[in-house]
Structure 1
Amino acid sequence: MCSLIVQLRSVALVLLGFACGALFPVRAAQDDGVLVLGRISDNPQDHYEQLKPLLDYVVPRMADVGIREGRVLMAKDAQQMASYLRRGRVDWVTETAASAALLRERAGAQPILLTERDGTSYYHSIFFARRDSGIRSLDDLRGHNVAFQRASSTSAYYVPAAELLARGMRLEILLAPADGVAADEVGYLFARSELNISTWVHKRLVDAGSMSNLDWDNPRHMPPAFARDFVIIGKSEPYPRALELVRDDLEARIRDRLVQVLEDAAADPDASEALLKFFKTTRFQPLDERARDSLQRLATGIDRVRREVE
């Protein structure tokens, strides 16, 4: 009973920090031996349960560099997380590729590892339309509309939007699927979920949709009965599934030890349950040239989306 109360109090503190901008003091790891793991979240309670087991695994293995305690701190968006990083409230962040690129730009966050989830390190975005729509390529989207997921999505907004801009298309947000689209534009709407995207295209509410290849292969997001009526009309270059980052002024000895502990975790049976809860992570990999090039391309695309669309 006591352990349950302690756990509930910990979750309550995380939720308070998320809602009120971290009113409780969270300081840098190098100052007080606390390692703070952050995440941008619209569901902080669920994310806390996914993050805390790995943090509990990592902390005792960093005692030799002065880490004695671990805490989780959520942010409601990239702007808030960037502020936490700049002020030293968060030491380590786990994020999707687009959020990682934004945090690197806004707060100087340093990517340290590539995160393999469920055996996949890279994925890509695809565009699809109904077979009977007459749309067969991305160039055919001019004068039509497309459904994205939400404005924070890597695979179902930033990447596909950047892909269309790179082809010289002009994007305009629509208030409703029935809104008209000029012949030289591509209209877009946010469907909020991958299942909604596939449903909207299938019901002809929109002309095309975009999502990751992993979501395309997931029957919960792309029902087979829908997929039979669709055709893939384009896809992006691959990009990292997820990344681990640290604030730019984290002490090198702490950063290096964190990298070592995370890289070694896949071979440690004691880490298996924590990794599974950590978004089904299978291993952490060093950043290679492919990952760095992909992140740079993604950062360039995101910058263009923000300048020309948002």
Structure 2
Amino acid sequence: MPTRLLARLLAPILLLAGLFAIVPISAAGDGERHILVLGRISDDPKIHYEQLKPLLDYVVPRMADVGIREGRVLMARDAQQMTSYLRRGQVDWVTETAASAVLLQSRGNVRPMLLTERDGVSRYRTVFFVRRDSGLVRLEDLAGRSVAFQNNASTSAYFVPAIELLRRDLSLSLLLSPMDKPSRDNVGYVFARSELNIGAWVHKRLVDAGTMSDLDWNNPARVPPSFRKDLEVIHITEPVPRALEMVRADLDPKVQARLREVLIEAASDPKAAQAMRHFFRTTRFLPIDDGASQVLERLRSGVARVKADVE
């Protein structure tokens, strides 16, 4: 095969590999402590790189006084790989949704730093909904019925609703498809992949109930009015943080403190506006108060139970 043709064929593969590339272990050593590494668990590293890099480029020049002169982005395929990066000192700052964040906290060398407000909202709730003519009025009625989650990484459409069902001593079992049926004493669940699918499956009676965040429930693009008129909410959970910024627990305290300061101040800096929009439409970074800490602790124990009892 001609060399030029081979190079063209390999280029997309090499790009993807580069986005997942491991930052050398020396990044944590004396010679490269000037590098700040921002990490994220990703199933689409190219898109996420474009979302993360502008904010990292904003942050790095403002951390020169603590020795930071360069920034890098490092993606992980899953929580296990990110945990390995954190333990080896290859990632300094992690941005994740709440469930993924507390899972990393329980597994790896990481601690919560800030709450992330997106589109002016720092917390959301999970709603359980059914067809109005279903006869289902409470969560306990879902025994022997089926429920649609989004995917096994979703905070609002998997972990939080699964935790809520387990708290009511309802066992969960994975169904092979929406057409499959659970046993009488189990709640069967399927992954619908998107909020639009979840709403459609409930509306078309493929499943008995669906779950999603209240933000998605109130978004006509996720639940069209033609669906909503036949659906009703039977349960709403307590609010949980939309997302968190985490730092490696053994990161230099001066670097941690400066990073926290820069992120909090970014909301009032016009120069940060575009980078914040790219960063998952972030509007502010907020301190973690006692109330949020308590919610995160309950979420952490709940996620652990889902991992042990469901997966």
TM-score (norm 1): 0.93
Letter in 1 for 2:153: S
In structure 2, the residue corresponding to 1:88 is in which secondary structure?
coil
Percent identity at matched positions?
61
In structure 2, the residue corresponding to 1:243 is in which secondary structure?
strand
In structure 1, the residue corresponding to 2:27 is in which secondary structure?
coil
- Map 1:105-124; keep pairs closer than 5 Å: 105-124=106-125
> Deviation digits for residues 268-305 of structure 1, max 9, x if unmatched?
11001100110010010111011101100101111111
- 1: CA distance between counterparts of 2:29 and 2:272? 22
Q: CA deviation at 1:13?
A: 7.5
> Deviation digits for residues 143-185 of structure 1, max 9, x if unmatched?
1000000001100000000100000101111001222222211
- 2: CA distance between counterparts of 1:189 and 1:228? 24
- Map 1:1-310; keep pairs closer than 5 Å: 15-19=16-20, 22=22, 27-28=27-28, 31-32=31-32, 33-310=34-311
Q: CA deviation at 1:28?
A: 2.7
The answer for the alignment partner of 2:5 in structure 1 is none
Q: CA deviation at 1:222?
A: 0.8
- 1: CA distance between counterparts of 2:167 and 2:148? 18
In structure 1, the residue corresponding to 2:210 is in which secondary structure?
strand
> Deviation digits for residues 191-236 of structure 1, max 9, x if unmatched?
1111110111111100000001011011121111101110101111
- 2: CA distance between counterparts of 1:170 and 1:108? 32
- 2: CA distance between counterparts of 1:246 and 1:226? 42
- 2: CA distance between counterparts of 1:246 and 1:78? 15
Residues 263, 14 of structure 1: alpha-carbon distance in 2 compared, 3 angstrom cutoff? farther
- 2: CA distance between counterparts of 1:282 and 1:18? 26
- 2: CA distance between counterparts of 1:13 and 1:64? 35
Q: Is the 8 A contact 1:17 1:73 kept in 2?
A: no
Report how many residues are paired.
299
Residues 143, 283 of structure 1: alpha-carbon distance in 2 compared, 3 angstrom cutoff? same
Q: CA deviation at 1:14?
A: 7.0
Letter in 2 for 1:135: L
- 2: CA distance between counterparts of 1:30 and 1:102? 29
In structure 1, the residue corresponding to 2:205 is in which secondary structure?
coil
In structure 2, the residue corresponding to 1:219 is in which secondary structure?
coil
Residues 31, 263 of structure 1: alpha-carbon distance in 2 compared, 3 angstrom cutoff? farther
Q: Is the 8 A contact 1:263 1:285 kept in 2?
A: yes
- 2: CA distance between counterparts of 1:237 and 1:119? 18
Letter in 2 for 1:27: A
The answer for the alignment partner of 1:6 in structure 2 is none
- 2: CA distance between counterparts of 1:158 and 1:308? 12
Q: Is the 8 A contact 2:23 2:90 kept in 1?
A: no
Q: CA deviation at 1:140?
A: 0.9
TM-score (norm 2): 0.93
- 2: CA distance between counterparts of 1:208 and 1:93? 33
Letter in 1 for 2:134: S
Q: Is the 8 A contact 1:38 1:74 kept in 2?
A: yes
Q: Is the 8 A contact 1:147 1:190 kept in 2?
A: yes
Letter in 2 for 1:138: L
> Deviation digits for residues 249-285 of structure 1, max 9, x if unmatched?
1000000000000010001110011001100100101
Structure 2: which 5+ runs fail to align? 1-11
- 1: CA distance between counterparts of 2:29 and 2:56? 13
Q: Is the 8 A contact 2:112 2:244 kept in 1?
A: yes
Letter in 2 for 1:28: A
- 2: CA distance between counterparts of 1:85 and 1:170? 33
Structure 1: which 5+ runs fail to align? 1-10
Q: CA deviation at 1:24?
A: 5.6
Q: Is the 8 A contact 2:25 2:88 kept in 1?
A: no
